[in-house]
């Protein structure tokens, strides 16, 4: 390729450039200073524990106890206490696992992918989203571990040589789940922890200045000797970017494998090729739904409006709208191909979903996942915080029902009508699932009480005063 043209003069068109004035939204409002940001975020941890926190924490512990009761009864009695019966031998256990793992995947996905896409608005939500990921994976892990029945043999899931020469079926996506989820959990914790390092050091120094040596030592221990030197920051940025790069394919692969749990089968309603990207889109959808559900109350309680601005809420609502519409596209294509494929069993599975005994679940799913997000087309809706919060809960509900519809309706109507059944959860299953919201809440409450809910250094980097051009266009 010739390089002679490298010396051609710059085109005259550049002299005509005169952009229309349309400033971008500021990510930290009211021109808040760096000091204000530090005080605001650290203040949540340094201040006296508020009464509402104790009320919520006790309530969350109470709710979590339901899981403890459910699991204790299960372990003491056996998995027969769940409502499973032919032909539905897989129901709430896997529904709840996929529900929580979907939310769990979304946190890192939001954080890592938005980081790779250089979306600066992520700074206000990524820390909480990453925390949400880890806590959701904890909740998800409860179900596969305990559904094996004899939980003390759960270690057989791993390929550890044992005296019984029991070896795993490596051709099963369920076994891939074991590796994928455990790897994902590990990387998520690392990703979250690396991001926390500079903030833990700030807390160490502030507690030391305040004379609280115990807490200073604790935060200092976990801050790994962070001093904020140029070398530290350089290594930190590189490590964070690598972890974001590793997390992105990992998170996609994990939810893809979860979709394979179903799609590799021959079962009508499960065996469909669009499952992998459709599950990933659903994970982003439910993840943003959960982030909105958690962050909006947090924003109101701690008066974080300058850090989680209307622009952030707008962005999240639009992503919910986009991913909800993609999920709607997948529902439509599935239904269409069930007809187009002309397999009577496949066709029946979908007609049965929409008009059979579980039609109520199907229409809840459609209403919550396809219709609900369409409200976000309207600016007035996006600006009404209460409305957004309620709609985000609908998204969570809808995504739970999506898994229920896929799993239970496909199993309940077997190939032979003589094998048809109707699944209802037992009280033990209801207790176990209900309690996981308590487990999740306990962990999240501990997170907001003891760890910085937003990355302070990253927030400071997106303030207007951190911009060398001070927000002005530059030629």
Binding residues for other proteins, per CB under 8 A? 1-2, 5-6, 8-11, 13-14, 16-22, 24, 249, 252, 256, 260, 263-266, 271-277, 325, 329-330, 333-334, 337, 339-343, 377, 473-475
Q: Which of 106, 117, 105 is nearest to 241 (CA)?
A: 117
Q: Which is nearer to other proteins, 22 or 152 (CB)?
A: 22
Q: Residue 87: is the preceding peptide bond cis (ω within 30°)?
A: yes
Q: Which is nearer to other proteins, 35 or 475 (CB)?
A: 475
What CA–CA distance (Å, rounded) separates 156 from 160? Answer: 7
Smallest separation (angstroms) from other proteins to the CB of 74: 32
Token pair for residue 108? 């890192």
Cβ–Cβ under 8 Å, residues 203 and 44? no
Q: Which is nearer to other proteins, 246 or 397 (CB)?
A: 246
Cβ–Cβ under 8 Å, residues 103 and 171? no
Q: Which of 48, 45, 50, 118 is nearest to 456 (CA)?
A: 45
Cβ–Cβ under 8 Å, residues 184 and 254? yes
Smallest separation (angstroms) from other proteins to the CB of 10: 3
Cβ–Cβ under 8 Å, residues 452 and 127? yes
Cβ–Cβ under 8 Å, residues 130 and 170? no
Smallest separation (angstroms) from other proteins to the CB of 149: 27
What CA–CA distance (Å, rounded) separates 136 from 299? Answer: 21
- Beta-carbon contacts of 97 under 8 Å, excluding residues fewer than 6 positions away, are 140, 143, 144
Q: How far from each other are the two terminal CA atoms of the chain, in whole angstroms? A: 30
Smallest separation (angstroms) from other proteins to the CB of 276: 4
Smallest separation (angstroms) from other proteins to the CB of 458: 16
Q: Which is nearer to other proteins, 266 or 470 (CB)?
A: 266
Q: Which is nearer to other proteins, 148 or 354 (CB)?
A: 354
Smallest separation (angstroms) from other proteins to the CB of 275: 7
Q: Which helix (H) or strand (E) holds 289?
A: helix 275-301
Q: Which is nearer to other proteins, 116 or 217 (CB)?
A: 116
What CA–CA distance (Å, rounded) separates 160 from 164? Answer: 11
Helices 213-222 + 173-209 axis angle, to 10: 140
Q: Which is nearer to other proteins, 110 or 453 (CB)?
A: 110
Q: Which is nearer to other proteins, 53 or 329 (CB)?
A: 329
Q: Which is nearer to other proteins, 35 or 344 (CB)?
A: 344
Smallest separation (angstroms) from other proteins to the CB of 440: 30
Smallest separation (angstroms) from other proteins to the CB of 25: 10
Smallest separation (angstroms) from other proteins to the CB of 370: 12
- Interior angle at CA 121, CA 118 and CA 123, nearest 5: 90
Token pair for residue 262? 């179903």
Residue with tokens 């006296």: 48
Handedness of CA 51, 56, 57, 63 (dihedral sign): positive
What CA–CA distance (Å, rounded) separates 38 from 33? Answer: 9
Q: Within 10 Å of residue 304's Cβ, how many Cβ atoms? A: 18
Q: Within 10 Å of residue 334's Cβ, how many Cβ atoms? A: 20
Smallest separation (angstroms) from other proteins to the CB of 212: 40
Smallest separation (angstroms) from other proteins to the CB of 262: 10
Q: Which is nearer to other proteins, 29 or 314 (CB)?
A: 314
Q: Which is nearer to other proteins, 294 or 330 (CB)?
A: 330
């Amino acid at each position: 390729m010739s390089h002679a043209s490298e010396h051609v003069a710059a085109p005259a068109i550049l002299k005509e450039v005169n952009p229309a004035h349309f400033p971008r939204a500021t990510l930290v409002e009211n021109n808040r200073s760096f000091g204000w940001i530090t005080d605001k975020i650290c203040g949540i941890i340094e201040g006296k524990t508020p009464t509402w926190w104790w009320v919520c924490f006790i309530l969350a512990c109470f709710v979590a106890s339901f899981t403890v009761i459910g699991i204790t009864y299960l372990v003491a009695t056996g998995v027969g206490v769940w409502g499973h019966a032919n032909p539905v031998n897989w129901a709430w256990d896997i529904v709840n696992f996929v529900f929580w793992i979907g939310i769990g995947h979304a946190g890192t996905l939001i954080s890592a992918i938005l980081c790779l896409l250089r979306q600066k608005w992520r700074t206000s939500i990524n820390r909480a989203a990453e925390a949400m990921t880890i806590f959701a994976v904890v909740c998800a892990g409860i179900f596969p571990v305990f559904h094996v029945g004899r939980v003390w043999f759960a270690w057989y899931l791993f390929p550890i040589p044992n005296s019984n020469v029991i070896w795993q079926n490596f051709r099963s996506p369920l076994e891939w789940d074991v590796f994928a989820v455990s790897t994902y959990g590990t990387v998520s914790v690392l990703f979250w922890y690396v991001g926390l390092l500079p903030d833990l050091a700030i807390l160490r120094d502030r507690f030391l200045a305040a004379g609280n040596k115990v807490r200073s030592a604790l935060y200092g221990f976990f801050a790994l000797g962070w001093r904020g030197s140029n070398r530290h920051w350089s290594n930190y940025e590189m490590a964070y970017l690598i972890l974001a790069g590793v997390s992105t394919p990992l998170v996609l692969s994990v939810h893809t494998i979860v979709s394979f749990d179903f799609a590799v089968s021959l079962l009508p309603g499960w065996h469909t090729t669009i499952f992998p990207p459709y599950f990933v889109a659903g994970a982003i959808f439910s993840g943003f739904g959960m982030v909105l559900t958690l962050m909006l109350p947090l924003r109101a309680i701690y008066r974080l409006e300058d850090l989680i601005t209307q622009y952030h809420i707008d962005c999240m609502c639009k992503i919910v709208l986009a991913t909800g519409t993609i999920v709607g596209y997948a529902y439509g294509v599935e239904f269409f191909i069930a007809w187009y494929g002309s397999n009577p069993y496949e066709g029946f599975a979908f007609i049965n979903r929409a008009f059979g005994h579980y039609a109520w679940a199907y229409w809840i799913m459609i209403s919550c996942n396809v219709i609900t997000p369409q409200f976000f087309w309207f600016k007035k809706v996006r600006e009404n915080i209460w409305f957004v919060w309620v709609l985000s809960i609908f998204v969570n509900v809808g995504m739970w029902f999506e898994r229920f519809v896929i799993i239970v309706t496909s199993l309940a109507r077997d190939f032979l009508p003589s094998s048809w059944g109707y699944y209802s959860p037992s009280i033990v299953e209801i207790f176990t699932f209900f309690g996981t919201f308590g487990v999740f809440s306990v962990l999240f409450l501990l997170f907001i009480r003891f760890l910085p809910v937003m990355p302070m250094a990253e927030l400071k980097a997106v303030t207007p005063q951190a911009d060398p051009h001070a927000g002005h266009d530059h030629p």
